[in-house]
Structure 1
Amino acid sequence: MIKYYNRKSKKYEIEQVAGDTYLNWIYSSPIGMRFLELLIKKKIFSKLYGHFCDKKSSKKKISSFVKDFNIDLSCCEKKINDFECFNDFFTRKLIPASRPINTDINSVVSPGDGKLLAYKNINLNNVFNIKGYSYSLSDLINNNEVASTFEGGSCIILRLCPTDYHRFHFVDDGICSTTTKIKGDYYSVNPIALKKIPDLFFRNKREWCIFHSKHFGELLHVEVGATCVGSILQTYTPDKNIKKGSEKGFFKFGGSTTILFFKRNSIVIDQDLIEQTNNGYETQILMGEKIGKKF
């Protein structure tokens, strides 16, 4: 059972987990864990499943998925019968009015839909403390020079469930560098998996780049892949002017994670997000929603 905070209703709710029976078996049983290490975490498994989700025959999964998880399609650009395959539905674009962007130049907005954790005054050598082991930002991006510039800054971790809108966006006007890709495994990023494989962010496939934000300085974008994520696709053009809320890219099928690091004294994360994180809860957030302000 995964409890999260609904910022809109100001209530705690229970997450509907796609494939929860499967996840619990894989990450809780000896046989499931062996199957995980032998096959499921491998690129080939996610690639094959991604290939299936690109086929027209996968279209028949859409209706039951929408019904089972009560997905609102009224905000989509396409009607349910217009999707060509499951991945076409999964990477669906939304009507701009359904995700209004907070246009205040001093406001930091969420890069996507999902469940958010927020941290301030981060220690680069202890960005994640997992079962007594410390993992640094350098471990995450494999670059000591870049990592060192974010000491004492802020961090948000946005977990995208399979039921979420799976495109991610820029939080401000600016210019973005090219993307660096790091090969890795394909563990699930669901909290069920995190309990068993707590350092999976440092094992999974990931991509990162530097965004030169107009109002908040340099920030670090990191995208982390997961089980059945056939691809992380970057759709932005490097070294070109970007508008706040513009699409950066999208994940194909599967739960995934976007992580942002901000430099010291650049932003102040909204206090309710910090408080919920300190209390052990993720907060449900929509793309374009204010999550902080300029320092």
Structure 2
Amino acid sequence: MPAAPITFFNRQTQRIETEAVYGEGFLRFTYESPLGALPLHALVKRAAFSRWYGSRMDSPASRAKVAPFLATYGVDTGEFADSPDSFRTFNEFFYRKLKSQARPIAAGENEIAFPADGRHLVLPDIATCGDFFIKGTRFDLAALLGDVETAKRYEHGSMLISRLCPVDYHRFHFPCSGIPGGAMLINGPLYSVSPIALRKRPSILWENKREITQLNKTCAGVIRLIEVGATCVGSIVQTYCPGEEVQKGTEKGYFRFGGSCFITIFEPGKIRFTDDLIEHSRAGREVYARMGDVAARVQTA
């Protein structure tokens, strides 16, 4: 029986589309086949495997992968801040910068911007989400945050899960203005964050290696920002300065090679997600949108 395709709603085209999954055959073998469990647990989820693969993407020979990748996935090179010919390695291309006008930032004072390009899913009330990818699986907020008391504060809060594919722009940004603290590292394995993996093991999001930042003095209360590592992510690189005020859309950092995930958590009653995010997330379908687009609005009443 053919595997079900991965579909998402594209905000740019206003259509439901099928995702071209990078390395789909390997992912389906590893996460959907009983035989794949052995290499998954013995090798693939381990940090050493991702470091090894990441180092390959830093080698001069990896530069030859850039042109075929651009052609296969139709990446818009007109957005690049630098010429496609200027990248010395595949990783340099992967965490490329874009022209400032390529990602306009939501201008409204009460508008929360997407922190990254990607496919987005929302939980308007984390505590009432009883079917996270698999029926009866609840999102384990305490495990994700690594602290039971902090989890209680956000128990009925809202969550935005932004999944970045290898084809996406891999720098992440602040969703609103505020003052960020330092990033706290929680170590863990490096499973894939592809829907192929998440639909078999939703707990990946609160098991994988991650970094958590508290964003203070925002228009939407105290926000938690979480970068989740994944298979073949060489590293999470923070480029902001803790303690210094940032503006909405300011770069926070970037992921090196691999699919990755960025999670934004809001306190209860502070924001309302846009209608398309609520509608499609309720149907279990992600929404593709770009960094800077409107993700939510602050509740003022």
- Residues 210 and 221 of structure 1 are in contact (CA less than 8 Å); yes or no, is this contact kept in structure 2? yes
SS at match of 1:12: strand
- Residues 134 and 199 of structure 2 are in contact (CA less than 8 Å); yes or no, is this contact kept in structure 1? no
- Residues 44 and 191 of structure 2 are in contact (CA less than 8 Å); yes or no, is this contact kept in structure 1? yes
> CA offset at residue 291 of structure 1?
1.2
Provide, for residues 243-295 of structure 1, a one-character-per-residue CA deviation record: whole Å limited to 9, x for no partner. 11000111111111101110112111112210100011100010000111110
- Residues 79 and 98 of structure 2 are in contact (CA less than 8 Å); yes or no, is this contact kept in structure 1? yes
- Alignment-derived partner of residue 38 in structure 1: 42
Amino acid at match of 2:255: F
Any residues of structure 2 matched to 1:1-295 within 5 Å, and which?
1-123=5-127, 128=132, 130-295=134-299
Structure 1 residues without counterparts, runs of 5 or longer: none
> CA offset at residue 195 of structure 1?
2.2
Change beyond 3 A, Cα 1:22–1:116: same
> CA offset at residue 172 of structure 1?
1.1
- Residues 270 and 298 of structure 2 are in contact (CA less than 8 Å); yes or no, is this contact kept in structure 1? yes
> CA offset at residue 125 of structure 1?
9.3
SS at match of 1:165: coil
Which one is further off, 142-151 or 98-107? 142-151
- Residues 124 and 150 of structure 1 are in contact (CA less than 8 Å); yes or no, is this contact kept in structure 2? no
> CA offset at residue 113 of structure 1?
0.2
> CA offset at residue 129 of structure 1?
7.3
Partners of 2:198 and 2:221 lie apart in 1 by 31
Amino acid at match of 1:253: F
> CA offset at residue 128 of structure 1?
4.5
Amino acid at match of 2:22: A
> CA offset at residue 121 of structure 1?
2.3
> CA offset at residue 127 of structure 1?
9.2
Partners of 1:125 and 1:107 lie apart in 2 by 24
SS at match of 2:50: helix
Partners of 1:79 and 1:172 lie apart in 2 by 30
> CA offset at residue 54 of structure 1?
1.1
> CA offset at residue 64 of structure 1?
0.7
Amino acid at match of 1:80: P
Provide, for residues 168-211 of structure 1, a one-character-per-residue CA deviation record: whole Å limited to 9, x for no partner. 00011110011110111111100111122221112211111110
Amino acid at match of 1:281: R
> CA offset at residue 14 of structure 1?
0.3
Task: Provide the TM-score with structure 1 as the length reference.
Answer: 0.96
Change beyond 3 A, Cα 1:128–1:192: closer
- Residues 172 and 213 of structure 1 are in contact (CA less than 8 Å); yes or no, is this contact kept in structure 2? no
Change beyond 3 A, Cα 1:129–1:70: closer
- Residues 126 and 136 of structure 1 are in contact (CA less than 8 Å); yes or no, is this contact kept in structure 2? no
Amino acid at match of 1:68: T
Task: Provide the TM-score with structure 2 as the length reference.
Answer: 0.94
Partners of 1:130 and 1:254 lie apart in 2 by 24
Partners of 2:40 and 2:287 lie apart in 1 by 29
Structure 2 residues without counterparts, runs of 5 or longer: none
> CA offset at residue 213 of structure 1?
4.2
Provide, for residues 53-109 of structure 1, a one-character-per-residue CA deviation record: whole Å limited to 9, x for no partner. 111111111111111111111101111110010100000000010000011111011
